[in-house]
A and B are shown apart, each in its own frame.
Chain A
Amino acid sequence: MATLVVPAVVKKPAKGSTANGHAEHGHHELSFVQKYIFSQDHKIIGIQFLFSSTFFLLVGGTLAMIVRLQLGWPGHSFSFLNILPSTMVAGGIILPEFYNSAFTMHATFMIFFAVMPFLMGTFANYLIPLKIGAGDMAFPKINMLSFWFALTAGVVMLSSFFVQGGAAGGGWTAYPPLSDVAELSGVMKGQNLWLISLLISGVSSLMGAVNYITTIVNMRCPGMSFFRLPLTIWAIFVTAILLLLAIPVLTAALVLLLFDRTIHTSFFIPASLMVAGQPITGRTGGGQVLLWQHLFWFFGHPEVYIMILPAMGISSDIISNFARKPVFGYKAMVFSIIGIAVLGFFVWGHHMFQSGMNPLLGTTFMISTMLIAVPSAIKTFNWLGTLWGGNFKFQTPFLFAVGFVSMFVIGGLSGIFMASTPVDIFIHDTYFIVGHIHYVLFGGSVMSIFAGIYFWYPKMFGRMLNETLGKIHFWIVLITFNGVFFPMHILGIGGMMRRIYDYTQYAHLSHFQGLNEFMSINALILGFSTFILLFNMIWSYFKGKPAGMNPWESNTLEWTVPSPPGHGNFAETPHVFRGPYEYSAPGRVSDFWPQNEPPEGWLERAEAMKASPSHA
């Protein structure tokens, strides 16, 4: 058992709140711009990320709707699409080149500008200092820059729709030579802007990551040892390390491809490449096509775990909170987060089983890929263990968190099919993969993000979100989500390739039109259901029930301060006495036990110790 060390009662503002000197300035008022736009307060930056990610979620979602319109009704003329320029839509019919841009940009926006910033921008920023008992981030200025870089990157990405040749259309994986030689894809500046935008967003992520790691290592309040950190913070911590290690490799790849496109190097252009039946001009050739895939996936696979680990952390917190019981196997959870992160660097080749890579390498990557399912299994069973013997009210955050678990399991299990090399021969690049992607990324990450929004909105804005609307939103999402994405497995098993504009071209696929139509209708409802959330967020801001300090009767430190917390977060440095999940502890009347509630007799002993000369 840990011995109780009597710490000092430190009567000073939480660390960090003085870091940028506001405290010294006393009652000096910040201008509006300083306070809400170029703010260095982690809470404001978190909310800025919330807005920008929501916006880009809508952009990505709208593009998904375009994809679904085409797939549900291939070749159908939608007159309302005529508002789009003629390079995208002709006579209401979506053009193949625009279709390619649509799913490419859909994935790009969703991954880099919605899910990542939601998890590693909004929640990381908002929650780290509050949950570890700090006044702000270690580097508030870098934090601010991180947001503005992210936003710039998003704007650059958006602008690529409006340049000649349209936005990037080589898939979010941008395999060269297609993404390399403009003549081969018809995309000109769009692809360059895509590369530049990702370079900028990489810088933003790196700045964020350095900040998060430093803050978590250095600014935990007294008593907040690593093994008393909430799992959300653990997950963000490990994810930030993943970002540090993975993003620079992406940067290297992006720079090489950008050089290929702009100064005509040949890193990804093999000898004697043909363009429209003629040998390529203006390039010397001699490069390696697979190099990009290795570099991209060395980043890309850790990247997918970057998008799931924080989501897992958030759901763990929420499930424990609503089950009113401690997380089952806390340390096992922590070690499996670390295990996933470490193994995540050794599995990238599973995206390249059919790429012509040496089959022996395929075997190695298959084994590591199979192994990485083990820590995920540990997490899944521990979630079940947390549910076991709980006592839960079905409130919206809990619904989404449980939805996360059940959907993530489906996505994870479909990953096992693809991990098996021979099976992947058949299902690689089919809709089976697309099904997997969306079960882990929507059913996993986005569900968890929704859970997080319902859970922390009261802290962010001081008002509860409407429960009824929340429940409606949840059920629509759960049903239509499965309606869109479960049939994708069937399509994949039937052999339907991904990234195709018109599958009715193929005899073995044309009978899937009805199924696709069903999926598209579900997708449209799923898309519109987001407006329920948006409406709820806006309406509750004005009309919601006041949240109070701790509406969910939670243990962690963010719930010990007013909603929304003031500048500097904590009036005085909190002190932590126990882990974050002490719910329903025996011998207590209340079923929660805030981390900072002093144990009985502690204050007296502290006073006594302070008075005793031996400690002076």
Chain B
Amino acid sequence: MAASGEIIYERPNLLDSTHDGVELINSNRFAFLMMLGMDVMLFVGLGGGYMVLRGGSLSWPPPGAPSLRPAVMVWSCVFIVLASVVFAVGLKNHKKGNARQARLALFAGSLLILGFLITNAFEWSYLITNGMDIMTVFGGIYYTLMGTFLIHVVIGSIFLFWIISRTMRTGNSGKSVNSVTHVAYFFYVLTLLWLSIYGLVYS
């Protein structure tokens, strides 16, 4: 961090009394991680809501509501886990500077994410045609929880396309290492969240 010609410091101990004024962590990265933390808390709130509503109901799903299809939605888990794995590979390549492989991985990952979205779309259209009503508690919390999650995935995908198109144009710039890392982290967290949500809603 210190400019050339000046004394270089060792990375200080967090609570040491001789802090040398260097950044402990890249600011953008740090802010991004905090944003992920906020997202997790948002889902803690919604998931807690889900648990209370489900726990308080006599029958779940209530009579008349279509039952969810865990077998179908397992695919969504598979897709998103695979996507995470692929992103991890991509990130590794990206950091090494293998632009082509990295881009390939990002692209493959986005196809998997698409698969995830399509699985969900299937489930939603099935639920909607079978009369799952957002006005019921069962439908309402499902659509709210899942919808919030899907919005996150969609935002992640937009982010992803933006990065892919940028790396296509610029190759591996130092800046995009950060954004590739971020998008990968984002999907890691989404994957973990999704597995918890799946466990919560589909079991």
Contact = CB atoms under 8 A, between A and B. Distances in A.
Direct contact of A and B (CB under 8 A): yes
B200 interface: no
A14 B3 CA distance: 13
Interface stretch (B16-24, B91-99, B157-165, B182-190): B16-24
A158 to B, nearest CB: 27
Nearest to B18: A5
B27 A267 contact: no
B121 interface: no
Contact of B20 (A7, A288, A610): A7
B29 to A, nearest CB: 10
Interface string A584-609: 00000000000000000000000001
A138 B27 contact: yes
A265 B52 contact: no
Contacts of A615: 7
A10 interface: yes
Given A7-B7, A266-B136, A226 B14 contact: yes
Contacts, number: 158
A252 B27 contact: no
Contacts of A284: 133, 135-137
Given A214-B27, A264-B135, A265-B140, A244 B21 contact: no
Given A7-B7, A222-B19, A248 B45 contact: yes
Nearest to B20: A222
A83 interface: no
B157 to A, nearest CB: 22
Contacts of A225: 12, 15-19
Contacts of A245: 37, 41
A252 B7 contact: no
Given A244-B38, A255-B144, A609-B7, A227 B135 contact: no
B190 to A, nearest CB: 15
A294 interface: yes
A227 B140 contact: no
A90 interface: no
A10 B21 CA distance: 10
Contacts of B118: none
B27 A265 contact: no
Nearest to B2: A8
Nearest to A240: B34
Nearest to B30: A214
Contacts of A247: 38, 41
Given A8-B6, A138-B31, A139-B27, A267 B49 contact: yes
Contact of B34 (A244, A267, A286, A610): A244
Contacts of A219: 23
A218 B137 contact: no
Contacts of B134: 263, 265
A253 interface: yes
Contacts of B31: 138-139, 210-211, 214
A267 B137 contact: yes
A244 B17 contact: no
- Greatest chain B CB density within 10 A among A228, A245, A259, A284 is at A284
Interface string A290-309: 11001100100000000000
A253 B144 CA distance: 12
A248 B152 CA distance: 14
Contacts of B16: 2, 225
A249 B134 CA distance: 21
B108 interface: no
User: Which has the most chain B C-beta neighbours within 10 Å: A10, A218, A252?
Assistant: A252
A74 B39 CA distance: 47
B174 interface: no
A346 to B, nearest CB: 14
A163 interface: no
A253 B141 CA distance: 12
Contacts of B62: 286
A98 B6 CA distance: 66
B57 interface: yes
B199 interface: no
Interface in B135-185: 135-138, 140-141, 144, 148
Contact of A10 (B6, B18, B144): B6
Interface centre among B2, B48, B49, B52 (most CB of A within 10 A): B49
B44 interface: yes
A206 interface: yes
Nearest to A250: B45
A91 B158 CA distance: 58
B35 interface: yes
Contacts of B34: 209-210, 213-214, 244
Contacts of A8: 2, 6-7
Contacts of B53: 267, 287-288, 291
Contact of B41 (A5, A244, A287): A244
Contact of B135 (A138, A256, A283): A283
Interface string A202-237: 000010011101100111111111111000000000
A227 B15 contact: yes
B36 to A, nearest CB: 11
Nearest to A265: B140
Interface centre among A7, A224, A264, A615 (most CB of B within 10 A): A7
A31 interface: no
Given A210-B35, A244-B38, A284-B133, A256 B20 contact: no
B135 A266 contact: yes
B186 to A, nearest CB: 15
A290 B18 contact: no
Given A225-B16, A295-B45, A295-B48, 5 more contacts: A10-B2, A210-B31, A222-B21, A248-B41, A259-B140
Interface of B: 2-3, 5-7, 9, 12, 14-21, 23-25, 27, 30-31, 34-35, 37-39, 41-42, 44-46, 48-49, 52-53, 56-57, 62, 133-138, 140-141, 144, 148
5 contacts: A218-B25, A218-B30, A224-B21, A245-B41, A253-B45
Interface of A: 2-3, 5, 7-8, 10, 12, 15, 138-139, 206, 209-211, 213-214, 217-228, 244-253, 255-256, 259, 263-267, 283-288, 290-291, 294-295, 298, 573, 576, 609-610, 615-616
